[in-house]
Structure 1
Amino acid sequence: MAYDDAARRARALSGFKVRDAAFHWLTFAAAVAVLLLLGGVIASLIHGSIPAFRAFGFRFFVTNVWNPAIDQYGALAAVYGTLVTSFIAMIIAIPIGLGVAIFLTELCPHALRRPIGTAIELLAGIPSIIYGIWGLFILAPFLQAHVQPGLIALFAKVPGLNILFAGPPYGIGLLTAGFILAIMVLPFVSAVARDVFDTVPPLLKEAGYGMGFTTWEVIKNIVIPYTRVGVLGGVMLGLGRALGETMAVTFVIGNADTIPSSLLAPGTTISAAIANEFTEAVGDLYTSSLIELGLILFIITFVVLAISRLMLMRLEKQGGR
């Protein structure tokens, strides 16, 4: 009997080892597959960009010419539009997203937290083409009629800003695209911020209130410092979405291959340029230039994520001290 029990235990242990080894190699294969897929994307982008790079070199990154008729291409206008619209989106989405998260975790009645939180998160599930249609037929005419004329008049005599908000009010343009992107990235910022705000130990907040802190002081001195790593992660997640958004921006940015001095004027982004022109690209150089645009967008996104990762590591070290 004792021998049989020992044999069964040995077989069970052997089975555990086999299953554990199989699970180890399965997860390892999944990780390697992701790396191979990423490497394949990078390699294909680099390979497809070679003809354009041979033709234009580094001038491709700093010139503002995009003329398929004479096979002259430059990425500066698209890069400028991508960075500007993403910056506008984050300027709008960060304070609103954090405000929503603070309201839901600190001020909102418990009965309303779930419905409001769910409604905001549903914004992330709306297809981008719906945002684009709404932006083109509803938001752009509203901005053209009621917002942009006011901005032009307000900043007409302010040096610098009178250039950024110069007319005429087209409705579509960089500012409208930034508004659309802000709405699209808002649920990412607010959802992540709300989740990390919920991780703050109640004892810390109660200690702050016990010392006489107001709600704002508790948020500023306890909640935000305690969750700053998570909040930054949510902001960078939203920025990554803003940089790569295609269809919604394509509808409302105007798709003009220029670098406008005014935020109210039409422009373009990398993703919008690729979406508009890839199906019509004729010739190897035209196609290669569009692929090189995709490579530039990949590099921009990678740099942003790398910087955010370094910032997170720095914040974690500071928090440890």
Structure 2
Amino acid sequence: MAVVSEQLTMVTPQIARRSSKPVSDRLFRWASFGSALLVLIVLTGILGSMIYGALPAFREFGLAFVTSSVWNVGQDQYGAWVAIMGTLTSALIALVIGVPISLGIAIFLTQLCPPWLRRPVATTIELLAAVPSIIYGMWGLFVFAPLFARFVQIPVTSLVEGIPFFGTILYARVPSGVGVLTAGIILAIMIIPFIASIARDILDQIPTMLRESAYGIGCTTWEVVRHVLLPQAGVSIIGAIMLGLGRALGETMAVTFVIGNANRLSLSLFDPGSTIASRIANEFNEAIGMQLNALLALGCILFLVTFTVLVLARLLIARVKIT
């Protein structure tokens, strides 16, 4: 009897756990589903409220709101083309400058950096990601912009003046240091920590056997990086770049400080401009009536641009996986 009672004592908790397991699974499933649904509800609410507020501007101006470069608050005439071009141009400059530097940092930390230097450099990169954007903007306006005007804009303007093409895109009418190129450089500094940190973690996760095999057959470090590491981490690196691009497209305060906030189209990268985010930040506080509707319409366009970039990134990632 003692043996039987002992066996029953051991079996009873197991039966209780088995009977409670389906309940816990259902609770976990519904909690996970609720978390995912909450994100969709919040996103739908944000997008719906923005579209509702932007409808008067879209009804009033139609397609001309996107194609027009006029932004006159006094006459209630609004066009988004200057802000759209400034957003795309500054983000493209940030990628052109930031992506090679980020990949170089990641490759150095994983392949070439001495062990005693790896942790300080990695920590410094991660600390840069934690710096608030307004600090980047203040540094860019009060420190970087004067130096950029003195040592880059003035000498380059005097050098390329009168030269076809270069004399157009690198000519500063007023070398103040602020402009689209300055905004792109500041954005590049801001996205480098994100792309570099993710790319470093991705390269670290590649099996050591692949590297050792490549070195074993006589490959150089460049050949290992070019033919082994980058193909293995290509999809994830594209994702990291798209994350940096999303940060560059939506950045507000830093760009507002250094882009000049001028509503004009110019082929020169040294001239002031504006982005969608900087225009919203400058005018939203005092906007009423049609101006407020136009700013909400700008927000919808920025959302559409970001969504388009995300779709293109997904297609590119799918293509890389297939090849």
Q: Which amino acid aligns with 1:100?
A: I
> Alpha-carbon deviation of 1:204?
1.2
- 1:280-317 deviation line (CA, Å, top 9, x unaligned): 1122x110000000000000001101110111122122
The two structures, once aligned, show a CA RMSD in angstroms of 1.2
- For normalisation by structure 1, the TM-score amounts to 0.96
- The match for 1:226 is 232
> Alpha-carbon deviation of 1:7?
3.9
Q: Distance in 2 between matches of 1:202 and 1:157?
A: 55
Aligned partner of residue 268 in structure 2, secondary structure? coil
- The match for 1:268 is 274
Aligned residues: 317
Matched, 1:242 2:248: yes
Q: Distance in 1 between matches of 2:18 and 2:163?
A: 77
2:295 to 274, 290, 296: 290
Matched, 1:22 2:30: no
> Which residues of 2 match residues 5-20 of structure 1 at below 5 A?
5-20=10-25
Note closer, same or farther for the CA distance 1:65–1:32 as it changes in structure 2 (3 Å cut): same
- For normalisation by structure 2, the TM-score amounts to 0.95
- 1:134-156 deviation line (CA, Å, top 9, x unaligned): 00000000000001123224433
Q: Distance in 2 between matches of 1:88 and 1:45?
A: 29
- The match for 2:205 is 199
Q: Which amino acid aligns with 1:210?
A: G
Matched, 1:39 2:54: no
> Alpha-carbon deviation of 1:42?
1.2
Note closer, same or farther for the CA distance 1:52–1:95 as it changes in structure 2 (3 Å cut): same
Structure 2 segments unaligned to the other structure (5+ residues)? none
> Which residues of 2 match residues 40-119 of structure 1 at below 5 A?
40-119=45-124
Aligned partner of residue 69 in structure 1, secondary structure? coil
Which entry has the higher C-alpha Rg, 1 or 2? 2
Matched, 1:162 2:162: no
Matched, 1:306 2:306: no
Note closer, same or farther for the CA distance 1:4–1:206 as it changes in structure 2 (3 Å cut): closer
> Alpha-carbon deviation of 1:10?
2.2
Q: Distance in 2 between matches of 1:37 and 1:317?
A: 34
Q: Distance in 2 between matches of 1:142 and 1:26?
A: 54
Q: Which amino acid aligns with 1:228?
A: G
Q: Which amino acid aligns with 2:218?
A: G
- 1:189-237 deviation line (CA, Å, top 9, x unaligned): 1111111111121111112112221111111111111110111111100
Aligned partner of residue 74 in structure 2, secondary structure? helix
- The match for 1:184 is 190
Q: Distance in 2 between matches of 1:167 and 1:42?
A: 39
Q: Distance in 1 between matches of 2:109 and 2:8?
A: 62
- 1:166-203 deviation line (CA, Å, top 9, x unaligned): 12322100011011100000001111111111112111
Q: Distance in 1 between matches of 2:304 and 2:297?
A: 10
More displaced 10-residue stretch of structure 1: 209-218 or 291-300 = 209-218
Note closer, same or farther for the CA distance 1:100–1:33 as it changes in structure 2 (3 Å cut): same
1:251 to 251, 257, 272: 257
- The match for 1:128 is 133
> Alpha-carbon deviation of 1:158?
4.2
More displaced 10-residue stretch of structure 1: 50-59 or 151-160 = 151-160
Aligned partner of residue 237 in structure 1, secondary structure? helix
Q: Distance in 1 between matches of 2:16 and 2:322?
A: 46
- Percent of residue pairs identical: 49
> Alpha-carbon deviation of 1:3?
4.9
